[in-house]
Every structure is written in structure tokens, then in C-alpha cells.
Amino acid sequence: MKLIAPDYYDKFSCIADRCRHSCCVGWEIDIDENTYEYYKSIGGELGKALQANIAVCDGTANFTLDENERCPFLEKDGLCRLIKELGESSLCNICADHPRFRSFYSQRTEIGLGLCCEAATDLILSQQHKVTLVTLEDDEETLTEDEEYLLKYRNQLFAIAQDRDFTVEERLENLLDFCGIDLPEKSFSEWAEIYLSLERLDEEWTDKLNLLKKAETYAIPSSLEIPFEQLLVYLLYRHIPSALDDGDIASKIGFSVLSVRIIAAILSREEKQDFEALKQLVRLYSSEIEYSQENLNTLWDLLYEQND
Ligand code: SF4
């Protein structure tokens, strides 16, 4: 199996206690069977705490979040008690893996870092070069015809997305033209209503969508051209492989273009239009939209109907 990643992948590291939106808050954390067995073998005070703070629901063990939805092992100093006392290798698969995502082909896996993590967002958006894909583990790779086609097509989309002879706004148009895709003709206010009808987790996201209602147009500040390029490339890299499951590539490209425009439109209504504001917004968008399969499906369906 070949393992592929964006060239910045190995530079990622969790910022732990400096993280303002820790993945140890607000998310249900399932514990894999091997780790659960290991936790059951731990003695002493920590063993007692593990027993008291793990519940088994429908056959799956998970940490019981406290009233503030914090993992019971996330300490006040922002560090993980399990890592402190047992080391990093004690983490369950989900905690050790976050914020990585994977796309699976017949003999190829693509791995990436998800933008719902602020350290990953910082890393991805601050890349200055045209990001490429690198091979982390080499092995024989025989792909199906559909997979070969999809990868070639995505490379063409990367080339358009990274063509710095054009502004990012122009590149978004070029992508749609190249693919013969139309986005539904809707104002940002109408898009805001659609996004407001989706599942939402954080009140801050509702506030951003209320800002979107007031946006009439969008403009990408020249100082943020490269971060927006990195965002676009990330979206294409992450979402296009899903077309192998449903045969619908148009909605994934449409979603990538739409997401960049929505983020740019919200940013244009923010008090500040700088890198920090963009990072916060991108992380929030990713948590609310990309990490809800239900929300993704709703948007993909809408974009599919447009291009059916
Ligand atoms: S969200 Fe990212 S930076 Fe924050 S605690 Fe989780 S992995 Fe670390």
C-alpha cells in the first residue's frame, strides 16, 4: 500500500496546553478495544479514575465528558493526565490520530491533517510554496481506471488552484469553467440561511453566519492570497477522493469553491481581515462543516442537483 501526504505533513505537532480549541473538549471520544483492555489493567489512583470515567455504550467504550464537555483526563493546565502519567503511547487510537484524515484507494492511502485543529490550520495556511504530494511509504500501486482518472483530474485542478498568474478569485472561476460546473445562483444571504439550517455546534459559528447574511460580495486581501490558495488545495485534496464512493466529482469541486467564497465573504465582514482572523474562521468552518458528514452530504446533494 502506498502512503501519500502533502509535503508539510511531517512538520505537524500538537500545541497541547497552548491550544485554544482543544480536541479534548466537546467531542465524544471512542476508545478502541485494545486500549480499553490496557486501561482496565491500570491500577492505583489512575486506574480508579479510568474505571470511573469510562462508559460503555452500544458495545463501545468512551470517556465520560464532564459538565463542560471536557475529557475527564484533560487537566486544568491543558495537558493530558494519561500522557503525563503513562506516556503518549497510552493514548487510544482516536486521540493519537487526531487531526489526521485518510482517503482510501485500492492500493493507495492518502493522509492529511484536518483544519479543525488550530495547529494544523496554522501549519497549512502558512505554507508559502506550492504544496506538492510526497510518498511517505512506497509500495506497489495498481489503481483502478476510475482511481487513475480521478488522480489525473485532481492534478489538473491543483495546477489551476496554484496558478499564481491569476488571483485566487480568478482561479475559482477558472476551476468552475474547466470542469463545466455551475454553483447555484444564490446571494450570500441565501447561503447563510442554508448554512443556518445545517447542524451547528458552536454559537460563534451562528454569529459568523449572521455576518455572512450582510455580505454582498467578497474580496480576498492580497496579503492572504497564498493562505487562500493553501485552503483551496487542501479542500480539493481532501474531498475529491469521496467521488470514488458516490461517482460525483462535481459536487466536491463545487463544495471546495463554495467553501473558499463563503469563508472569504465572512472574513470581509470581520473587524480584521488578517491571517489570525482567517485561521480562526477556517478552523471554525472545518469543525462545523467538514467534520459533520450530515452537513457535508446536505451541501453535496445541493451542489449535485445543480450539476446533474
Ligand atoms: S486540536 Fe490540535 S493542537 Fe489542539 S489539542 Fe487537539 S491535536 Fe493538539
The per-residue pLDDT for range 74-118, each reduced to its tens digit, is: 999 999 999 999 999 999 999 999 999 999 999 999 999 999 999
119 lines ligand 1 (CB under 6 A): yes
* Strand blocks (E) in the chain: 2-6, 30-31, 54-57, 60-63, 100-104, 108-113, 133-137
β-bridge pairing 2-6 and 108-113: parallel
Structural domain count, the chain: 2
- What the block records as the C-alpha cell of 173 is 472561476
Q: Is residue 84 part of a domain?
A: yes
Cα separation, 223 vs 193, whole angstroms:
30
pLDDT of residue 151: 97
pLDDT of residue 119: 97
Output the CA 118–ligand 1 centroid distance in Å.
Answer: 7
Residue ID of nearest Cα to ligand 1 atom 2: 117
108 lines ligand 1 (CB under 6 A): no
β-bridge pairing 2-6 and 54-57: unpaired
pLDDT for 306 beyond 80? no
283 lines ligand 1 (CB under 6 A): no
Cα separation, 45 vs 56, whole angstroms:
20
pLDDT of residue 307: 72
Backbone angles phi, psi at 239, to 5 degrees: -95, -25
Q: Which residues contact 173 (CB under 8 A, 6 or more apart)?
A: none
For residue 265, what is the enclosing H or E element?
Answer: helix 249-269
pLDDT of residue 266: 98
264 lines ligand 1 (CB under 6 A): no
Output the CA 144–ligand 1 centroid distance in Å.
Answer: 36
99 lines ligand 1 (CB under 6 A): yes
pLDDT of residue 1: 85
Describe the crossing of helices 249-269 and 203-213 by its angle, rounded to 10 degrees.
80
Is 232:256 a contact under the CB 8 Å cutoff? Answer: yes
Residues 191 and 252 in one domain: yes
| Segment 268-285 mean pLDDT | 96
Q: Which of 97, 132, 157 is the last residue of a domain?
A: 97
Tens digit of pLDDT for each residue in 33-56?
Answer: 999 999 999 999 999 999 999 999
Q: Is residue 112 part of a domain?
A: no
Structural domain including 221 reads 143-307
Residue ID of nearest Cα to ligand 1 atom 4: 22
Cα separation, 194 vs 213, whole angstroms:
11
Residues 92 and 203 in one domain: no
Residues in the chain: 308
Residues 46 and 183 in one domain: no
Among 11, 13, 14, which is best to mutate for testing ligand 1, by the most ligand atoms less than 8 A from CB?
A: 14
Among 13, 98, 286, which is best to mutate for testing ligand 1, by the most ligand atoms less than 8 A from CB?
A: 98
- What the block records as the C-alpha cell of 141 is 500501486
Q: Which of 101, 91, 49 is nearest to 286 (CA)?
A: 101
pLDDT of residue 27: 85
Residues 163 and 277 in one domain: yes
For the whole model, what pTM was predicted?
0.94
Place 137 in a pLDDT band, splitting at 50, 70 and 90.
very high
Cα separation, 196 vs 20, whole angstroms:
24
| Segment 107-131 mean pLDDT | 97
